[in-house]
Structure 1
Amino acid sequence: MAFSSPRATSLLLGHGRCARFLCSSSSSSSSYSFPEHISFIKEVAATQPPQHLSQLLRILNARDESILSPGAKQGLMPLAIPLSQSNSGAVTALLRWPTAPTGMEMPVVEVRKHGVWLLAKNVDQFIHRILVEEDANNGIDELFHAASDAGEKLYRKGDFSKSQIMDVDVYLLRKVGLFPDVLERKVVQHFENGDHVSALVTGEFYTRKNHFPGFARPFVFNAEVLLKVGRNVEAKDAARGALKSPWWTLGCKYHEVACIAEWKDEQIEYRTEKMTEEGKREDLNKGKPAFQIALDEAAFLLDLASVEGTWDSTLERIAECYKEAGLHDMARFVQYKD
């Protein structure tokens, strides 16, 4: 279920260049370049904007989603850069990893109360998927018009029918890329067909570390699959593995995973103790570098904030941790609010 914030109305653009765009006619949307988002990512998030970000924003606008100010981060998971909000209240955003591996692009995510749900590993993949699904559903041409040159590079209208692949999910997996919700649907379909072996194989495939690096959701789902077929010990191990990744990438509430892992509050207590002065001294005495201790504390704070979905109260300390780790750009980004 999508997270709908009670302060959703305050997230909508009410100023600046993007606000004027929202008041303009939809006919101009195909040529609008969204300079506020581009400059925010360069200057505040201190990273390279995705090549086709403007085209994605035009597509989201053509889908009747309200374009958000990139700095309208209050109440949201602090590593998210808001892009748009749907009529249901779901917020689509880019994710700014604190220490992303070189060359890793910013993923497209849906922001939820307890964290984020991965929509696509990059902007191009997300655009590609939207156009395929729109074409398969005989949707409006306006999305293809909004996609402009990005659409021409990624997908030509009619390619789905020409492929003679009858199932959209199969086409996405073969021609576009891997998506968490698509893989999870395939597992559910295997169960519905009574094919438990294929369900288990797909669940295991989902967890391969090169598929969704940094995200815990595949391990959570695999734990649920294992639990469903009575492999409780393996399910417990999978859930414990999931909790080694950021909790805000679980795709559900922390306690749901902790229950499968057969942990109560042990991990919460562990993180809390690690952030005490005594815990930090212990790590220093073991030879852990000071910058890594600071990064660990920032990660622990994000994990703990995700349990209740209360982000804003920890922002200042998270920013301080990034400063202590030498990541001053990340500190400024986390603290930024419109």
Structure 2
Amino acid sequence: MKFGGGVVCGGTRANALPLLLSYDRASLRCSLSPSSPDHVSFIKDVAATNPPEHLSQLLSTLKTRGDSIVSPGVRQGLIPLAIPLAKNSTGALTALLRWPTAPPGMEMPVVEVKKHGVWLLAKSVDQFIHRILVEEDTKNSQERNDELFYASADAGEKLYKKGDFAESKISNLDVYLLKKVGIFPDIIERKVMRHFEEGDHVSALVTGEFYTKKEHFPGFARPFVFNAEVLLRVGRNVEAKDAARGALKSPWWTLGCKYQDVASMAQWDDEQIEYIKEKVTEEGRQEDIKKGKDPAQVVLDEAAFLLDLASIEGTWDEYFERIAECYEEAGLPNIARFILYRD
């Protein structure tokens, strides 16, 4: 399993330990402003990182297509690494993911927030805007909302020229997006399913394996979960089990489905859950320190374990305070403040 580095989670110790943070939670909430900050200010002042260059254009684009903009501080019940952006008519919440330590090329991806974690929508704000504009441009003139192109402003002009899809002579939208915009999880998965529909199992297997290349979606477990499903479908059960176990080495909140579904493919019962619960006890923590592990790394690992535990049932609010404590103890007070912030 993955038990290291930068991404953390919350755990059962949250209710048992005293507060170790060097600031008071109530005063933190008040000091950050009685009214919710806008998204750019929130990312700078609360999330303590640089906002994506074209974030304002993305928000304008989402609003123009009919989404409701959501305050970045409305985070109750959400994975504490998410920064809400907008909610669409189906209730799906689009957000930015604020990694404590981002994998290369994934500084602030766009995600859809789910009960058990997140689904990757795009690796960057620019990529997401680009895709929205292409998809809008493929609609007929009566369905197309040309206001979207105006809403995207200079970002849209930089990323996509209206009519480029038609001029490309590429008849399939998914093919165009993969060639001209970027690699997206949902498109790769549709491509695999089309191969199966056409009876081309070899191409399905090749595409499923391609999906898992580490440079495509670093930090995300979903490609390995889907590849395990592909392998199961063609009867390669041993390889499917290994792929599912590989998926569980990444954060469980990036699986794109319930933990139990992947554990079943991995042929694991509750042993991994019990292992993590043991690691986040005081005894488990001291054991790691005795083995020579750096104390800061021990609490970062604990935070990651806690996020994994919270993702199992989506019980994020039970864990976020202890997660924040872990970051504070690891010398990352800005991350701790971000984790704690609620409107």
In 2, distance between residues paired with 1:64 and 1:16? 24
In 2, distance between residues paired with 1:223 and 1:256? 11
Q: Give yes or no for contact 2:192–2:208 (8 Å, CA) kept in 1.
A: yes
In 2, distance between residues paired with 1:299 and 1:196? 37
Alignment-derived partner of residue 208 in structure 1: 213
Change over 3 Å in CA distance of 1:124–1:243 after alignment to 2: same
In 2, distance between residues paired with 1:287 and 1:102? 28
Alignment-derived partner of residue 125 in structure 2: 123
Alignment-derived partner of residue 138 in structure 2: 136
* 2:92 aligned with 1:90: yes
Change over 3 Å in CA distance of 1:274–1:311 after alignment to 2: same
> 3-state SS of the aligned residue for 1:224?
helix
Q: Give yes or no for contact 2:253–2:311 (8 Å, CA) kept in 1.
A: yes
What pairs up with 1:242-253 in 2 under 5 angstroms? 242-253=247-258
Alignment-derived partner of residue 25 in structure 1: none
Q: So what's the TM-score if we normalise by structure 1?
A: 0.89
- Tell me the alpha carbon deviations over residues 101-148 of structure 1, each in whole angstroms, 9 at most, x when there is no partner: 466420000000000000000000000000000101231101101001
Change over 3 Å in CA distance of 1:322–1:213 after alignment to 2: same
* 2:50 aligned with 1:53: no
Alignment-derived partner of residue 313 in structure 1: 318
Alignment-derived partner of residue 337 in structure 2: 332
Identity of aligned residues (%): 74
* 2:289 aligned with 1:289: no
In 1, distance between residues paired with 2:104 and 2:239? 33
> 3-state SS of the aligned residue for 1:60?
helix
* 2:194 aligned with 1:189: yes
In 2, distance between residues paired with 1:101 and 1:193? 36
Q: Which of 221, 226, 231 pairs up with 2:226? A: 221
> 3-state SS of the aligned residue for 2:268?
coil
Alignment-derived partner of residue 236 in structure 2: 231
Matched residue type, 1:286: K
In 2, distance between residues paired with 1:52 and 1:233? 45
What pairs up with 1:40-119 in 2 under 5 angstroms? 40-101=42-103, 104-119=106-121
- Tell me the alpha carbon deviations over residues 56-77 of structure 1, each in whole angstroms, 9 at most, x when there is no partner: 0001001111000000001111
Structure 1 segments unaligned to the other structure (5+ residues)? 1-14, 18-34
Matched residue type, 1:299: A
Q: Which of 222, 241, 248 pairs up with 2:246? A: 241
Of 95-104 and 210-219, the range deviating more from structure 2: 95-104
Alignment-derived partner of residue 16 in structure 2: none
Alignment-derived partner of residue 10 in structure 1: none
Q: Give yes or no for contact 2:65–2:145 (8 Å, CA) kept in 1.
A: no
> 3-state SS of the aligned residue for 1:76?
coil
In 2, distance between residues paired with 1:79 and 1:101? 14
Q: How many residues align?
A: 307
Q: Which of 36, 47, 51 pairs up with 2:38? A: 36
In 2, distance between residues paired with 1:292 and 1:195? 46
Matched residue type, 1:54: S
Matched residue type, 2:116: H
Alignment-derived partner of residue 21 in structure 1: none
| CA displacement at 1:251 relative to structure 2 | 0.2
- Tell me the alpha carbon deviations over residues 151-172 of structure 1, each in whole angstroms, 9 at most, x when there is no partner: 0000000000000000000000
In 1, distance between residues paired with 2:103 and 2:115? 26
What pairs up with 1:163-174 in 2 under 5 angstroms? 163-174=168-179
> 3-state SS of the aligned residue for 2:59?
helix
Alignment-derived partner of residue 274 in structure 1: 279
In 2, distance between residues paired with 1:103 and 1:154? 18
Change over 3 Å in CA distance of 1:319–1:211 after alignment to 2: same
From the two aligned structures, give the one with the greater helix fraction: 1
In 1, distance between residues paired with 2:149 and 2:110? 19
Displaced runs of 4+ in structure 1, greater than 6 A?
A: none
In 1, distance between residues paired with 2:187 and 2:57? 24
| CA displacement at 1:310 relative to structure 2 | 0.9
Q: Give yes or no for contact 2:320–2:339 (8 Å, CA) kept in 1.
A: yes
In 2, distance between residues paired with 1:169 and 1:105? 25
> 3-state SS of the aligned residue for 1:219?
helix
> 3-state SS of the aligned residue for 1:204?
helix
